[in-house]
Chains A and B, each alone.
Chain A
Amino acid sequence: MAIVKNDSVIEQDWITVDAEGDLPSSDENLIVPLARFKEERDTLLGRNGGLGVQLNPGDAPEDLADDLDRLSIITVNFPAYTDGRGYSYGRVLRERMGFKGELRAIGDVLRDQILYMHRCGFDSYDLKVDGETALTKVRAALKEMSVYYQPTGDGRATAQSLRERRRATLG
């Protein structure tokens, strides 16, 4: 298991808790499922440690609208790589709701989906391989393509914008 963010392997310094069970001490950095966040919002926001929320397929990212600036991280679970709902959640969180914190893909995160995740606003990836392998995979995935047709919030220039720029230059 290794998490890759910003072209490096980072430490897992978040504790993810289930829907039920005791919360760890107030100083720990904590990630809770959305359902629990909604139920225990005030308690959770009153703790000292950092707070994050995990979105599962079927959750509505819009439920976090009032609290985004209090969250350091949102994890989006891809229980199977074929379940693509998380891509929409990423774009809604970044492009519509303006979430600035860490957006991490967890679950069945495979090399060949990472570029799509990145384009949808994810900036960290939890892979089920060792750190060096994970870093190699993420690097390879992110540079596999260099032309993009769709405008998304990832800031990459689209083919269309480059064409327009070229037409303008040529007058």
Chain B
Amino acid sequence: MSLQVVTANRLGDGLVVFLTADGGWSENIDDARIAEGKEAADALLAEASAPELDVVIVGPYLIDVEQQDGGLVPTKYREVLRTKGPSVREDLGYQAV
């Protein structure tokens, strides 16, 4: 069963965030609420797409993730980059912290 989480960019600073278990948004993918299966994923995206969140985040969408070493890693390289920062500037983005 594929695992998915919802990601978006935060309205104020544009940084990458993930929908968490308590309905908040975290910069750390490991805090993300995981949906297993299509139904759960649809429900998760529906929650993230609520009109009132339009003033919190921009452009929520689902991404596929895998459990690795106790953490979550996106399956697509594009999304891996979003959890880290530019591969050509390892001093910038979340990877720098």
A–B contact (CB under 8 angstroms): no
Binding site for B on A (CB under 8 A): none
Interface set of B (CB-CB < 8 Å, partner A): none
